[in-house]
Amino acid sequence: MPQVVRPRIGALHGPPPATPLPHRFRSLADRESVEVLHRAARVLVASLSALTDRLVEALYAQEPGYRAAIESDRAEVWQEVHQSLRHNVGSLIQPREFREPAHRTSRWIGEIRAEQGVPLDAVLHAFRMGGAMVWQDLVDETARRDPDDVRLLVHVAADVWNFVDEHCGIVADAYRQAERRLSWRRENRQRLMVAALLDGTARIADLAEAAAMLGLPEHGRYAVLAVAAAPRGQRSTARPPLAPPAAVLDATVLWHPGPEAGFAILPLAGLPGELSALAAALDVPAGARAGIGSAVEGLAALGDARRLAETALRACPASGGTVLLDEHLPDALVVTSPTLAGALADRVLGPLDRLDPADRDVIVETLTAWLDTDGSAQRAGAKLYCHRNTVLNRLRRFEQLTGRCLTRPRDAVEVSLALAARRLLGT
């Protein structure tokens, strides 16, 4: 650039001296360059509508990101471009007067284009296209009036392009801030919608909107997974206590953390054994508890699905693990009526409480093993590392103490439910 400007300076002021040019001389050259810039910029201001027309056409032809916006509302885009050009070209002439309005306009454009979903690269490209068109018009107008002045105009080229870069930075910053606000609003609205669906408080009229917002079929098949943290002393530091288990990250569309448990909405394909396979594949942290409720139909039933998942969670042992509600319905009956379950446990197992605790625990352990092995004394003995006759003797003692007959179906059911109540409710 100095090589381009020097001949013009020499023509105006004679050959350059051997010593460095005084500061006063350089200021004179700057003023002259600025005057050339101002003359050309005033012509652009006078023909701003035509410049706006050309830029809008160029955007339509060269920037696909703006094409849809122009086709949707050309007048709105035209006004936006016209206002930006008016303030930006005005800033070249009267920077103090137009600087802040130009900044406001650039911020406004960045925000509305973010809201409209126009890519940031497209918005920045549009600003640079506008800067290039303004610069070319400044050069053309200066060349038309006096071709020699073009070399002086080049002296301010860096300032003009720094101005364009400054406004690209303003646009990008406003765009990203607006994008963060929009993302927060969208995520917050999704959280509220998911919470309403899981609470069962979503309005029927809102289900179609919820389906579109969440990307879920309104009438699909769903289940809900509930996960409760391990006791504080058992929590792993490798993963947050209420994070969704790793095995459902791909299948989990939405995860909703709560104060006591987190919930995942699981879309189902309706395949046989689908829930059982999912329960078997869950990667639940050690000591954490997980419950999967029965399948339901449609988003409107997700409130019921969440309550079923909570029931399954309550049926999960305190030591942790995963419970599929459909496979633990007797336990679910116990936890859904804790008062009645406690009364049943006291009635059936109460006589054992008069025994020595160690003696009582042996009988309860034997009963549990016998029930778990489908009433087989042989297999129960193998499980307990004792002879089958020992198992039978303990069972007979239980019958004598409680007056129950384990071969009578009704008594066997009551004993099974009473043991579940003791295990799950600690009664």
Instruction: Provide the pLDDT confidence category of residue 245 given band limits of 50, 70 and 90.
Output: low
pLDDT at site 371: 92
Residues 289-296 have a mean pLDDT of 93
Strand segments, DSSP code E, in 243-338 are 254-257, 261-268, 289-292, 296-297, 321-324
Name the residue with higher pLDDT: 232 or 143: 143
d(CA 311, CA 308) in angstroms, rounded, equals 5
Whether residue 342 sits in one domain with residue 318? no
pLDDT at site 159: 87
Whether residue 282 sits in one domain with residue 419? no
- Express each pLDDT in 351-393 by its tens digit: 999 999 999 999 999 999 999 999 999 999 999 999 999 999 9
Whether residue 416 sits in one domain with residue 373? yes
Name the residue with higher pLDDT: 239 or 338: 338
Q: Which domain does 248 fall in, by range?
A: 220-335
Q: Can you list the alpha helix ranges (DSSP code H) found in 282-408?
A: 302-314, 329-336, 338-349, 357-372, 377-384, 388-402
Instruction: For residue 187, tell me if it sits in a domain.
Output: no
CB 216 within 8 A of CB 267: yes
d(CA 374, CA 383) in angstroms, rounded, equals 13
d(CA 50, CA 81) in angstroms, rounded, equals 12
Whether residue 354 sits in one domain with residue 286? no
d(CA 241, CA 289) in angstroms, rounded, equals 11
Residues 74-87 have a mean pLDDT of 93
CATH number, residue 349: 1.10.10.2840
Whether residue 146 sits in one domain with residue 30? yes
pLDDT at site 69: 87
Q: What is the mean pLDDT of the chain?
A: 85
Whether residue 376 sits in one domain with residue 319? no
Task: Indicate the range of 15-19, 74-78, 114-118, 201-205 predicted with least confidence.
Answer: 15-19
Whether residue 120 sits in one domain with residue 65? yes
Indicate whether 100 pLDDT > 50. yes
CATH number, residue 35: 1.10.490.10
Q: What is the DSSP string of 370-395?
A: HHHTTT-HHHHHHHHTS-HHHHHHHH
Structure tokens at 73: 């509302």
CA distance between the termini of the chain? 91
pLDDT at site 396: 94
Instruction: For residue 212, tell me if it sits in a domain.
Output: no
* Number of neighbours of residue 313 by Cβ within 10 angstroms: 24
Q: Over the range 347-378, which residues count as b (16 or more CB within 10 Å of their CB) and which as e?
A: ebbebbeeeeeeebebbbebbbbbbebeeebe
Indicate whether 32 pLDDT > 60. yes
pLDDT at site 29: 39
Instruction: For residue 215, tell me if it sits in a domain.
Output: no
Whether residue 355 sits in one domain with residue 230? no
pLDDT at site 427: 64
Name the residue with higher pLDDT: 395 or 236: 395
- Looking at 158, 180, 202, the residue that finishes a domain is 180
pLDDT at site 200: 92
CA distances to 92, 111, 164, 288 from 127, rounded to whole Å, are: 16, 14, 7, 54
Instruction: Provide the pLDDT confidence category of residue 231 given band limits of 50, 70 and 90.
Output: low
CA distances to 229, 239, 354 from 233, rounded to whole Å, are: 11, 14, 34
pLDDT at site 177: 96
Strand segments, DSSP code E, in 135-244 are 221-228
- Express each pLDDT in 150-196 by its tens digit: 888 888 888 888 999 999 999 999 999 999 999 999 889 998 999 99
Residues 29-37 have a mean pLDDT of 81
Q: What phi and psi values does residue 263 have, to the nearest 5 degrees?
A: -125, 135
Instruction: Provide the pLDDT confidence category of residue 242 given band limits of 50, 70 and 90.
Output: low
Instruction: Report helix, strand or coil for 405.
Output: coil
pLDDT at site 253: 53
Q: Which residue in 29, 24, 37, 23 sits closest to 10, CA to CA?
A: 29
CB 222 within 8 A of CB 251: no
Whether residue 53 sits in one domain with residue 24? yes
Is the Cα dihedral 336, 338, 344, 348 positive or negative?
Answer: positive
Name the domain count of the chain: 3
